[in-house]
């Protein structure tokens, strides 16, 4: 009777790099991982991929990594140089010594906005994103759309210096900027309650807004525009895009005019048809026909906002212009009053006082919307008329007005 001998137990008969496996009447020497051949033979196990090939591949990979790192480094250097160039072009060397606001780098704004992931809205001048600074302050970061004609260094220095020094309770405050982009980016205080347009027509359309609250919104907005037109170092800032979407609503329904930081700071006479791009439903028709934009153009746009406040209708609704429709019915008391927001007239006891107040607000709006620019009031005159109306409401115990 034959006895099967386990050769693997008698001593390792296999060459280095292989392992012995006993079989019936014989044994096998299997090559190790990533090797092939016969382990019974000296040097019988050879790498599946020759070491020379492995070394070549390793060198290629190392070369590719080094090349990639070099390209990334060159790009980073070029980007740093480009940002430095833009920073200098935007007057950074001067502004960092005179600005009362913080100058952010583009990387800081990317971090603040989580790479611009929370878009709040967009308009004629650019896009706005929500952000939170390292100090845990909520801000709105505005990326301004570059124009074909870039502003000069002196223009940027003048504008940013003036905007950073503006302090008015009814203007959205500029808290910072970024100068290493094509057009300076603006960091603004964040107003959490949205725009007047949203409150009147969109998210808040079912919310009751008392007449006096609407009058106070009109007064606060007029305060801001009058301040811009006449009270800033003897220079006039024309807003250029006055609309309900650019009037933000703060605490206690306090209005704050926004987007003034992207309007061009210069004497009114320098405005032309290439510098202002606004909502067509608010733009002064005189500007559209002549290309001349002035402070009275802001007055016109404010007149449309007043109509929105008293009618709670959009500047364009049901395919028609609110201004055109209101003008058509203005001289007919019954027809005009049917256009008022009926939510303000449901209380019979207060209806006469509310109607009188709405009529006077309508009259102010119509004056603002006159086609003859010279017949329009200044923003300061509009403000005074609105304040007088507010005082008149107090004498009628109108604080109870709905």
For strand 316-317 and strand 247-249, is the pairing parallel, antiparallel, or unpaired? unpaired
218 and 286 co-located in one domain: yes
Whether 355 maps to a domain, the answer reads yes
152 and 298 co-located in one domain: no
Tokens in use for 283? Answer: 């733009």
Cross-strand pairs, 130: 140
Tokens in use for 101? Answer: 């606001």
Domain C-terminal end among 190, 210, 233: 190
167 and 286 co-located in one domain: no
Whether 4 maps to a domain, the answer reads no
Whether 164 maps to a domain, the answer reads yes
Domain C-terminal end among 190, 210, 228: 190
Whether 392 maps to a domain, the answer reads yes
Nearest Cα neighbor of 170 from 88, 239, 102, 117 is 239
- The CA distance from 125 to 174, in Å, is 16
345 and 326 co-located in one domain: yes
pLDDT of residue 280: 84
Q: Is 279 a catalytic residue?
A: no
Burial label for 377, CB within 10 Å (0-12, 13-18, 19+), is middle
For strand 126-132 and strand 119-122, is the pairing parallel, antiparallel, or unpaired? antiparallel
- Per residue of the chain (402 residues), what is the pLDDT tens digit? 566 788 888 777 888 888 898 888 888 999 988 888 888 888 889 888 887 888 898 999 999 999 999 999 999 898 888 888 888 877 888 787 777 788 899 999 999 999 999 998 876 567 899 999 999 999 999 887 666 566 666 767 777 777 777 789 999 988 888 888 888 888 999 998 889 999 999 877 788 999 999 999 999 999 999 998 986 555 677 888 899 999 999 988 999 998 775 554 333 334 444 444 567 899 999 888 887 778 999 999 999 999 999 999 999 998 999 999 999 999 999 999 999 999 999 888 889 999 999 999 999 999 999 999 999 999 999 999 999 999 987 766 555 555
**232 three-state secondary structure:** strand
134 and 230 co-located in one domain: no
Whether 18 maps to a domain, the answer reads no
DSSP state of 114: T
- The CA distance from 44 to 61, in Å, is 30
362 and 238 co-located in one domain: yes
Domain C-terminal end among 149, 170, 190: 190
**148 three-state secondary structure:** coil
Whether 55 maps to a domain, the answer reads no
Whether 141 maps to a domain, the answer reads yes
pTM: 0.75
230 and 315 co-located in one domain: yes
266 and 361 co-located in one domain: yes
151: domain range?
100-190
Alpha helix ranges (H) inside 192-294: 196-201, 211-230, 285-290
126 and 159 co-located in one domain: yes
Tokens in use for 56? Answer: 């070549």
Q: Structurally, how many domains does the chain consist of?
A: 2
225 and 132 co-located in one domain: no
pLDDT of residue 69: 94
Whether 83 maps to a domain, the answer reads no
- The CA distance from 141 to 127, in Å, is 8
- The CA distance from 21 to 185, in Å, is 73
388 annotated to a ligand binding site: no
Alpha helix ranges (H) inside 131-260: 153-165, 196-201, 211-230
Catalytic residue among 38, 180, 216, 241: 241
- The CA distance from 37 to 58, in Å, is 24
141 and 276 co-located in one domain: no
pLDDT of residue 235: 67
Nearest Cα neighbor of 256 from 170, 130, 161, 194 is 170
Nearest Cα neighbor of 381 from 369, 391, 368, 392 is 368
User: In CATH, what number is assigned to the domain containing residue 382?
Assistant: 1.10.510.10
Alpha helix ranges (H) inside 369-400: 379-395
User: In CATH, what number is assigned to the domain containing residue 148?
Assistant: 3.30.200.20
352 and 256 co-located in one domain: yes
């Amino acid at each position: 009777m034959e006895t099967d001998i386990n050769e693997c137990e008698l001593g390792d008969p296999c060459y280095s790099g292989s392992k012995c496996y006993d079989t019936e009447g014989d044994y096998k020497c299997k090559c190790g991982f990533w090797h092939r051949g016969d382990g019974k033979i000296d040097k019988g196990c050879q790498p599946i991929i020759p070491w020379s090939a492995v070394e070549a591949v390793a060198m290629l990979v190392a070369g590719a990594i080094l090349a990639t790192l070099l390209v990334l480094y060159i790009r980073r250097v070029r980007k740093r140089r480009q940002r430095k160039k833009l920073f200098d072009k935007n007057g950074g060397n001067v502004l960092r010594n005179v600005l009362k606001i913080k100058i952010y780098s583009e990387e800081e704004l990317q971090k603040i906005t989580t790479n611009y992931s929370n878009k709040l809205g967009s308009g004629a001048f650019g896009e706005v994103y929500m952000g939170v600074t390292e100090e845990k302050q909520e801000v709105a970061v505005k990326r301004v759309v570059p124009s074909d004609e870039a502003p000069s260094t002196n223009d940027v220095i003048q504008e940013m210096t003036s905007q950073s020094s503006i302090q008015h309770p009814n203007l959205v405050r500029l808290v910072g900027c970024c100068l290493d982009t094509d057009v300076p980016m603006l960091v603004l205080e964040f107003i959490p309650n949205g725009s007047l347009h949203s409150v009147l027509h969109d998210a808040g359309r079912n919310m009751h807004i008392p007449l006096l609250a609407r009058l106070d919104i009109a007064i606060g907005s007029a305060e801001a525009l009058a301040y811009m037109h006449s009270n800033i170092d003897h220079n006039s800032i024309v807003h250029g895009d006055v609309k309900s979407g650019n009037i933000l609503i703060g605490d206690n329904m306090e209005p704050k005019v926004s987007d003034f930081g992207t309007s061009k700071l210069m004497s009114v006479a320098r405005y032309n048809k290439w510098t202002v791009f606004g909502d067509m439903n608010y733009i002064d028709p005189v500007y559209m026909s002549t290309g001349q934009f002035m402070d009275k153009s802001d007055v016109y746009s404010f007149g449309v906002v007043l109509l929105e406040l008293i009618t709670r209708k959009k500047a364009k609704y049901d395919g028609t212009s609110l201004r055109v429709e209101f003008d058509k019915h203005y001289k007919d008391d019954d027809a005009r009053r049917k256009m008022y927001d009926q939510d303000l007239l449901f209380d019979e006891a207060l209806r006469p006082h509310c109607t009188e107040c709405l009529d006077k607000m309508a009259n102010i709006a119509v004056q603002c919307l006159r086609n003859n620019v010279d017949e329009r009031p200044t923003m300061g005159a509009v403000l005074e008329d609105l304040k007088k109306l507010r005082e008149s409401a107090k004498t009628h115990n109108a604080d109870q007005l709905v």
